[in-house]
Structure 1
């Protein structure tokens, strides 16, 4: 059983059911904490629709929280969610503004995770 993340007619990630639901729940929780919508909407068909523009704003805010904190626990909690979100955002064609000093590490983490996220 899967939990696909869809952008229009395109499947961005054919997530496993539990992994997809957990990612969605974490994103919703982070969106509430950040005070912005996530851009992720469950569908009656058992998938998740991605609104690219709204999702891009969410990912940008998530990145800003990640980079503005010196709290290692907060950074580690946000890292997995951020990198997974960057993979999905990349697959929508969206981009966020990233500080030059963060680019290489995030690109490497995103590329490594993307190889494990079937689309």
Structure 2
């Protein structure tokens, strides 16, 4: 059983049921904290999510801003998993956000690891 994330009818991430549902739940919780729309809409027909790219990109920027502004190691750790997964999904959709030099190397390293397990296409190079 899977939980696909689709953009314009193309499956970007065919997440496992638990991974896909947990990610969606984390996104919804972060949306409440950031008071931003997510750009992800549950699709009953597919049992997954549709992505509205401009809104999702703005949401990922908001998550990155929250991650970057906190001095709390606990909050930063909680934001990090959501952020890395979101950055990969955003790049799978053919978009990205600008990362600061302070965070880029570490985030791209995690993106490489996560990306392989998310089935990210080889055309995306997370370690550049």
State the TM-score, normalized to the length of structure 2.
0.89
Distance 2:12 2:39 in 1: 14
Structure 1 residues 1-119: aligned runs within 5 Å:
1-45=1-45, 46-118=47-119
**Structure 1 consecutive aligned stretches of length 4 or more whose deviation exceeds 2 Å:** none
Shift of 1:47: 1.5
- Give unpaired runs (5+ residues) of structure 2: 121-128
Q: What root-mean-square deviation, in Å, do the aligned CA atoms of Structure 1 and Structure 2 show?
A: 1.0
Figure out how many residues of one structure are paired with residues of the other and give that number: 119
- Give unpaired runs (5+ residues) of structure 1: none
Larger CA deviation: 102-111 vs 17-26: 102-111
> Secondary structure at 2:13's aligned position in 1?
strand
Distance 1:102 1:18 in 2: 28
Higher relative contact order (Cα pairs below 8 Å, separated by 6+ residues): 1
Distance 2:93 2:119 in 1: 14
> What whole-Å deviation, never above 9, does each CA across 1:12-49 have from its counterpart, x for those lacking one?
11111111011001001101110100111001211200
> Secondary structure at 1:13's aligned position in 2?
strand
